[in-house]
Amino acid sequence: MRVACPECSAEYDLPAALAQRLDGVRTVRCARCGTAWAPRPAAPAPTPPEDAPAPAPAAGPEPVPFPAFPIIERPDDPAPTPPPAPTPRRSRAPALAWAASLLLLAGAAAAAWHWRVDVVEAWPPAARAYVALGLAG
């Protein structure tokens, strides 16, 4: 069922089951202007008598077949060549990240060896790790 807001004439489609439940008793609110009103079902359209002739279809212009403008193919035109595929560029970011990580680990190892006496004095259990690695002394 199609209902229209009496204030702003916005039209809405209501499902038949909902339209029967509303039946002029409940109100609905217009989403455009906010007016509340009770929609009433529209009167059924009159059916033509059985012996009446069917109405003639309205005469109108013939539909234009698709496409409206013909496509002209020219055999002498060369086929367009696709552009060459771009060559993928290798990023340097992963290599730089690996190099930075390795330099950081090498620096930590060099610092642990250089200050091994200080590390063992500050944290005595580290002496076992240095002995296990053969770096005691």
Judge whether residue 114 has pLDDT over 90: yes
Tokens coding 91: 């990023």
SS3 122: helix
Q: How many CA atoms lie within 13 A of 42 on its CB side?
A: 10
Residues 69-113 pLDDT 10s? 555 556 666 667 788 888 888 889 999 999 999 999 999 999 999
* pLDDT attached to residue 3: 79
Q: What is the pLDDT of residues 5-52, one digit of tens each?
A: 888 888 887 777 776 776 666 777 888 888 887 776 555 556 666 666
Residue type, 129: A
Is the pTM higher than 0.85? no
β-sheet bridge partners, residue 13:
2
Residues in Cβ contact with 136 at an 8 Å cutoff, skipping those fewer than 6 apart: 127, 130
Show me where the domains of the chain are located: 2-37, 101-133
Residue 118: the pLDDT is: 93
Q: What is the pLDDT of residue 121?
A: 93
Q: CB neighbours (10 Å) of residue 24? A: 11
Confidence of residue 58 (pLDDT cuts 50, 70, 90): low
Residue-level pLDDT at 46: 61
